[in-house]
Structure 1
Amino acid sequence: MRHIAWLITLLLAGLAAGGYALATPQFDAAGGPRVFCYFIIGLTGLLSVFLFPRFKSQRGILAAIWIPALVLRVLLLPTAVSDDVSRYLWEGRLVSEGLSPYAQTADAEALRAYRDAQWAQMNHKDQPTAYPPLAELLFAAVASVAYHPLAFKLFFLLADCATLAGLLRLLRLRGLAPQYSGFYALSPVVLIAYAGEGHFDALMVAALVWGLWAAAVGREKLSMVLVSVATGVKWIALPLLPLYLFASPSCRQAGAGPVAALWALVRQRSPYLLLAVLTLLLPALYFWESLPALFEGLFRFGGTRSFNGPVYDVLLLGLGWSRALCSAIVIAVFAGICFWRWCARERSSLDAQARWILGALIVLSPTVHFWYLAWILPFVCLRPSLPWILLSLSSSVYFFVWSNDTWGLTASQRGVFWLPFGLALLYEFWSTRGRVMFPAKRPVDEAVTVSIVIPTLNVLTPLKQALHSVAAQSLPASEIICVDAGSQDGTLAYVAQHTLPVRVIESERGRGQQIAAGIAAASGSWVCVLHADAVLAPQALAQIKAAVAADPRVCGGALGQRFEQAQVELLPIEVLNDARALFSRTAFGDQVQFFHRETALRGQLMPEQPLMEDVESSWRLRETGGFLFLNQPCEVCHRSWEASQWLTRFCLVMRLVSRYRFARLSSRAAAEALSRSMYQEYYSTSLPASKPK
């Protein structure tokens, strides 16, 4: 059933992509159909990520990612290109013929002989170009091969595909679900920006993603060259240069404070600085005599106009402040964010730094076109974020600019564009108690060892499969702890005779109490909580190790869950569970939670309560700012969700969670008291006898 639902969403996405291409024979075609098709592509693409089926081989997984991504791009190729492509073509032609696009504006009389159809379609002919030298040389190379917009589209699509390939490598390195790449590959922002309109930002993004991969595997020189190439293609990558320079663990230990660390960077990383300078300087030498005009172009494009900037528009239009003052404010705020991220370098992963810098650039920029969102989406795949994913959908209203009386968005349209993003940001800040900005610290230099804690109470039959899955792990557990609450069915005898060395401790009844006792008794640096009726995937512990080693902010999270028997009724439950864990950072115990042991003990992340211990521990964990959902599903028993009672059970769970949520708004103590009163209500329903209570 999951395969069928997934294929249906992809079919709808394909129809919407084809519809968008048909609705856009000219770049300025009416916006209504484009808005509709854009939104449908986004919605169905998002659903396909959550409906991604299980495949038996890595080859099947990659085919299921690449084939839809390529098909959607091919369907959008007939879309009319942006008028920016005309500038790429025309300026590329100038450079290939030995002229500098910086020497004069496009409407200069000296260039009259070069006016052609592409020149006629260019925008802002009276403005100097703002593209960096490396970008101009690349434009010249493509224009020399084929002086046609399709040549540029295909070139940028190659870079787009390179980004997807780099993302898949990074996701695998980090133990994350490969289908997270769909937040990029199937996003209408990316599809229409590159396959549809042909924007050259794809080159910068590909260089940044592969630079991140190079840093992750220790190829620091290659990483430095790639981020310098990204900067040479588009100036907005410039603030990332020092952060990529500082990605090396050896360099992180060079100085305690920001000034000392900066001096250490210059002193110790001088070879890498030289690589960066050469990468940026060599293309500039080709335009040396006319290069000063580039700065005029940057100022004219960045400082004299604005469109759809959420912060800038509020200052300029809402408060009526001067453009100079608005520009000074957003520059000062951005500089502060850059300094803050520099100070946070030791406790943040490089992709987190990129998200903050690129996100700040988008939000603070005076001008925000829809394709700017493509800058950040690859990094969102590595840490999925509800605000940015919502923005990739609500940005569909951008295309009303072609239907309005004057080019631009109305106040209400700008509200639709930005309001979901803003509300989701507020939710993230509220739900994490601000820790999304200032995550808790945890040791990052320790060896990652994983203890498995299994709460048991008369679970002999399902426990056999659970322990078998533990024995089959590619990364062996450092220890296995069975926390028993008085089993009478032979569970303890079976554990004592098992080939695995299982340590048994006793606890009072209640999963919260049992798990808390197991965490306290564990010796591993991390604890994986496995319910007795769940089965770990063979790579589960290795994926946990990869994920937590890659991101020093992670203090815990969940793996994911699939029912052992595929049923139509259970599919919505699986999808909702995944979406809740990903976007609200709330996991159920069946999704196999894991915790950094020291942080769990210090913050009392696991409450000693009989019910809702999984929900409460998730909320406490997200309040550290360190919750991560891997979406690497493990198999769980489906018997309590049989077709005859799944809806009743679903309503019961939602009602209890809602009641608990309202009690939690009052205090932790009120929620714990409610948990105890709800215990009998929950277990009075017909649950399998093997489920521990």
Structure 2
Amino acid sequence: MGKLNLYRIPLLMVAASLVFYGSFAYQLERSDFIKLFSLYAALFFLFYKLVQLNAGNFKFLLWTGIALRAVFIFSIPNLSQDFYRFLWDGRLLVQGINPYLSTPDSFASLGMTGIHQAQTLIDGMGTLNAGHYSNYPPLSQGIYALAALLAGKSILGSVIVLRVILIAADIGTVLFGKKLLEKLQLPAHHIFWFFLNPFIIIELTGNLHFEGVMVFFLVGALYFLATKKWLWSGVFLGLSVATKLIPLVFLPLLLPYFITQFPTKAAALKKLIIYYITVLATVLVLFLPFLSEAFLQNFGKTLSLWFVTFEFNAGVYYLIRWIGFETVGWNIIGTVGTILPVITLLFVLYLSLFRKAASIRQLIVLMLLGMCLYLLLSTTVHPWYLTIPLVLSLFTRYRFMLVWSFMIVLSYAAYSPGGFQEHLWLVALEYVVVLGYFIWEVKNHAMQSHGN
């Protein structure tokens, strides 16, 4: 009875969270932003208090996170259509068809032979997705195929398989994250700012975004790096890239860290080259079954769309776009979209060549800064893109990503009953709050360091 009284408030908070997640999973329409925001805000408050009040009870928080994810098991994602494309690619692969060589629309024009529920999947993914080639890397494709293989013709069955895999990946991230936090002499409960975060539960478990698998391998790579298991780290980073390509941006940032880990620069560079070869060989082996000239053209064509065509919830880019309209009278995304990634690359190279990273914590700070600048300059920032910087921030003293993981919900206001229409004042509010908090943190940490 004593234990029950001790856990009464946390259990009531968990019960309320279960009810709210149930409503989110089974009763919410994406266009109902008032309900979406209200549920999200309530869940975020409960999440914050649960971690704050139960920081010392690792098992309780772990099982709570698993229970909250289990609510979504039988639900169809309601905030994103991308999973229909995942199922499409997986069913193609099971039929022995290379998913990179045709768009769903072009495949449909040939009769869609052998793809069960083909029209349902095409209608579900939407015209934008159906009209472009797949850009999901091979490890993700393999998981989509596994779902098709295990679930057969059932859309819900495939969704359940993908969801179970993503939940397993999140648990793996907790286990690796706990070990890494302990290695860095940071509180182990910090990993629950990821695991119990409504942003993570909704976007990964709920909406089936495979950033969850990517982050599992990334955190594993960082843990093995911290324990100087170079080969395992390289393989895990390669698997992370083979799930989503974005961790490639971290490769140059390893230079300042490796230089501090070996007695001479020559020894460090030799080890770093071997590490790079391990990463790229892992990626290449997984891409190998799909490689062809047509694949390279199609894959590159789709990737370029994210820089010069698509626009959503952008930060600096929207400001530049407004200046473009005011000065030249048209949307300059075609020009700016190719310049902004170059600026990101130059910034990453600057961090690699002129900043120190004598420890894993310093390395992770560089990775966090590089990733945040990439997002700040991107033309498209979907909510689930924040997964990597949120996880990285947990191994640093910065908490602005927790603020962003709440503010990002404002981007869903663009999906209204009348159609898609972004509210730029909400986008501005999101970025002003996040950047303001980041600047305050930087100044606060600088003052503390100066005081010490």
Which interval holds the TM-score relative to the shorter structure?
A: 0.7 to 0.9
Counterpart in 1 of 2:24? 20
Deviation track 1:350-394 (CA, whole Å, cap 9, x = no partner) reads 322321222222222211111111222222222243321111112
C-alpha RMSD of the superposition: 2.5
Report the Cα distance in structure 1 between the residues aligned to 2:40 and 2:397, rounded to whole angstroms: 21
The alpha-carbon distance between structure 1 residues 309 and 285, as it changes in their structure 2 partners (threshold 3 A), is same
Counterpart in 2 of 1:87? 85
Q: Which one-letter code corresponds to 2:189 in the other structure?
A: Q
Equivalent in 45, 51, 54 of residue 52 of structure 1? 54
Q: Which one-letter code corresponds to 1:165 in the other structure?
A: L
Counterpart in 2 of 1:139? 144
The alpha-carbon distance between structure 1 residues 314 and 95, as it changes in their structure 2 partners (threshold 3 A), is same
Alignment of 1:325-340 (within 5 A): 325-340=335-350
Counterpart in 2 of 1:10? 14
Report the Cα distance in structure 1 between the residues aligned to 2:340 and 2:201, rounded to whole angstroms: 30
Report the Cα distance in structure 2 between the residues aligned to 1:111 and 1:359, rounded to whole angstroms: 44
User: Is the radius of gyration larger for structure 1 or structure 2?
Assistant: 1
Equivalent in 174, 198, 210 of residue 200 of structure 1? 210
Q: Which one-letter code corresponds to 1:145 in the other structure?
A: L
Report the Cα distance in structure 2 between the residues aligned to 1:418 and 1:77, rounded to whole angstroms: 33
Deviation track 1:485-523 (CA, whole Å, cap 9, x = no partner) reads xxxxxxxxxxxxxxxxxxxxxxxxxxxxxxxxxxxxxxx
The alpha-carbon distance between structure 1 residues 43 and 340, as it changes in their structure 2 partners (threshold 3 A), is farther
Matched, 1:271 2:98: no
Matched, 1:76 2:76: no
Report the Cα distance in structure 2 between the residues aligned to 1:281 and 1:131, rounded to whole angstroms: 14
Counterpart in 2 of 1:475? none
Q: Per-residue deviation at 1:7?
A: 4.0
Alignment of 1:472-483 (within 5 A): none
Counterpart in 1 of 2:155? none
Q: Per-residue deviation at 1:228?
A: 1.0
Equivalent in 430, 443, 448 of residue 430 of structure 1? 443
Q: Per-residue deviation at 1:408?
A: 3.7
Deviation track 1:531-577 (CA, whole Å, cap 9, x = no partner) reads xxxxxxxxxxxxxxxxxxxxxxxxxxxxxxxxxxxxxxxxxxxxxxx
SS of 2:379's partner is coil
Q: Is the 8 A contact 1:163 1:206 kept in 2?
A: yes
Counterpart in 1 of 2:246? 236
Q: Which runs of 5+ in 2 are unaligned?
A: 153-157, 326-330
The alpha-carbon distance between structure 1 residues 352 and 111, as it changes in their structure 2 partners (threshold 3 A), is farther
Q: Is the 8 A contact 2:313 2:411 kept in 1?
A: no
Counterpart in 2 of 1:583? none
Q: Per-residue deviation at 1:318?
A: 4.8
Report the Cα distance in structure 1 between the residues aligned to 2:151 and 2:246, rounded to whole angstroms: 28
Deviation track 1:78-134 (CA, whole Å, cap 9, x = no partner) reads 443231111111111112222112212110123632324223211321111111233
Q: Per-residue deviation at 1:10?
A: 3.4
Q: Is the 8 A contact 2:253 2:349 kept in 1?
A: no
Matched, 1:361 2:361: no
Equivalent in 134, 145, 168 of residue 158 of structure 1? 168
Report the Cα distance in structure 2 between the residues aligned to 1:416 and 1:309, rounded to whole angstroms: 12
Q: Which one-letter code corresponds to 2:404 in the other structure?
A: L
Q: Is the 8 A contact 1:42 1:186 kept in 2?
A: no
The alpha-carbon distance between structure 1 residues 323 and 157, as it changes in their structure 2 partners (threshold 3 A), is same
Deviation track 1:423-477 (CA, whole Å, cap 9, x = no partner) reads 1122124334xx5xxxxxxxxxxxxxxxxxxxxxxxxxxxxxxxxxxxxxxxxxx
Counterpart in 2 of 1:105? 103
The alpha-carbon distance between structure 1 residues 367 and 2, as it changes in their structure 2 partners (threshold 3 A), is farther
Equivalent in 345, 349, 357 of residue 346 of structure 1? 357
The alpha-carbon distance between structure 1 residues 38 and 19, as it changes in their structure 2 partners (threshold 3 A), is same
SS of 2:374's partner is helix
Counterpart in 2 of 1:169? 179
Deviation track 1:217-240 (CA, whole Å, cap 9, x = no partner) reads 111110011111111111111111
Q: Is the 8 A contact 2:252 2:349 kept in 1?
A: no
Matched, 1:285 2:288: yes
SS of 1:309's partner is coil
Report the more deviating stretch, 358-367 or 198-207. 358-367
Q: Is the 8 A contact 1:32 1:399 kept in 2?
A: no
Q: Which one-letter code corresponds to 1:365 in the other structure?
A: S
Counterpart in 2 of 1:36? 38
Matched, 1:622 2:449: yes
Q: Which runs of 5+ in 1 are unaligned?
A: 55-60, 256-260, 436-618, 628-693
Q: Which one-letter code corresponds to 1:22 in the other structure?
A: Y
Report the Cα distance in structure 2 between the residues aligned to 1:328 and 1:137, rounded to whole angstroms: 31
Counterpart in 2 of 1:209? 219
Report the Cα distance in structure 2 between the residues aligned to 1:209 and 1:127, rounded to whole angstroms: 31
Q: Per-residue deviation at 1:216?
A: 1.1
Query: What percent of counterpart residues are identical?
Result: 20
Normalised to the residue count of structure 2, the TM-score between the two structures is 0.86
Report the Cα distance in structure 1 between the residues aligned to 2:138 and 2:111, rounded to whole angstroms: 19
Q: Is the 8 A contact 1:127 1:300 kept in 2?
A: no
Equivalent pairs counted in the alignment come to 424
The alpha-carbon distance between structure 1 residues 177 and 97, as it changes in their structure 2 partners (threshold 3 A), is same
The alpha-carbon distance between structure 1 residues 138 and 76, as it changes in their structure 2 partners (threshold 3 A), is closer
SS of 1:122's partner is helix
From the two aligned structures, give the one with the greater helix fraction: 2
Deviation track 1:290-317 (CA, whole Å, cap 9, x = no partner) reads 3222111111233211111111111113
The alpha-carbon distance between structure 1 residues 325 and 116, as it changes in their structure 2 partners (threshold 3 A), is closer
Report the more deviating stretch, 6-15 or 219-228. 6-15
Q: Which one-letter code corresponds to 1:346 in the other structure?
A: A
Q: Per-residue deviation at 1:215?
A: 0.8
Q: Is the 8 A contact 1:107 1:126 kept in 2?
A: yes
Q: Is the 8 A contact 1:252 1:346 kept in 2?
A: no
The alpha-carbon distance between structure 1 residues 205 and 53, as it changes in their structure 2 partners (threshold 3 A), is closer
Counterpart in 2 of 1:130? 135
Q: Is the 8 A contact 2:221 2:236 kept in 1?
A: yes
Counterpart in 1 of 2:328? none
Q: Per-residue deviation at 1:248?
A: 4.0
Equivalent in 398, 405, 419 of residue 411 of structure 2? 398
Report the Cα distance in structure 2 between the residues aligned to 1:129 and 1:40, rounded to whole angstroms: 36
Q: Is the 8 A contact 1:245 1:269 kept in 2?
A: yes
SS of 1:101's partner is coil
Higher relative contact order (CA 8 A, sep 6+): 2
Alignment of 1:379-418 (within 5 A): 379-403=392-416, 405-418=418-431
Normalised to the residue count of structure 1, the TM-score between the two structures is 0.57
Counterpart in 1 of 2:60? 64
